[in-house]
Amino acid sequence: MMDKQLRHDLIKKAVQENKIASQSDLVTYLAQEGYPITQATVSRDISELHLIKVADAQGAFYQLPQVEQLDRSDAALTDLLTNVGARLYRQDNLINIEVAPGSGIVVANAIKQRRWSEVFTVVGTDDSTLLVLKSDDLNNRDLVWDRLSTLLN
């Protein structure tokens, strides 16, 4: 059985040095390196490493999250939201941000780091981030919506 830290290091190396488009690409890469791993294990590793998919002219590929250095600037959040193809939707005291598969948790963490006072909680899934805003002030949704919209434009 392969040590988890070694496997994570190999996955990081794989996505930094190659264009890894799918979980099966990672399974193949690891097998070629002499480490046969199941797709289920790779799926868990992708989640634990918070890998995101970023699109370029040749397709979408896994990448290490760019927010690891805890950059809290607006420019960093703008870059992240742009790179993951963020689209905003709102209803009542909720704002949903649809993103590229594999990016939702990274976006959620980037927003949580900002500790916006209007936000009650942030929930990240594979391909979306849901902001639940405090309902004690009806302006909260508009304030956060305007802030996110400004970052995307």
Tell me the HSE value of 148 on the side-chain side, using a 13 A CA sphere: 27
pLDDT at 68: 45
Find the mean pLDDT for residues 120-149. 88
d(CA 150, CA 39) in angstroms, rounded, equals 39
| Parts of the chain belonging to CATH 3.30.1360.40 | 74-152
Q: Which fold has domain 74-152?
A: Gyrase A; domain 2 (3.30.1360)
Contact by Cβ (8 Å): 15, 63: yes
Rounded to a whole number, what is the distance in angstroms from the first to the last CA of the chain? Answer: 48
| Parts of the chain belonging to CATH 1.10.10.10 | 4-49
Number of helical (H) and strand (E) elements in the chain, helices listed first: 6, 6
Nearest to 14 by CA among 40, 66, 49, 38: 49
- What are the tens digits of pLDDT across the range 52-93? 887 777 778 888 876 444 456 778 888 889 989 999 999 999
What would you measure as the largest C-alpha separation in the chain, in angstroms? 57
**Is 1's pLDDT higher than 70?**
no
pLDDT at 126: 87
Name the residue type at position 110. A
- Please, what is the average pLDDT of the chain? 86
Question: What is the CATH number assigned to the segment(s) 4-49?
Answer: 1.10.10.10
Record the pTM. Answer: 0.57
Structure tokens given for 148 = 């996110």
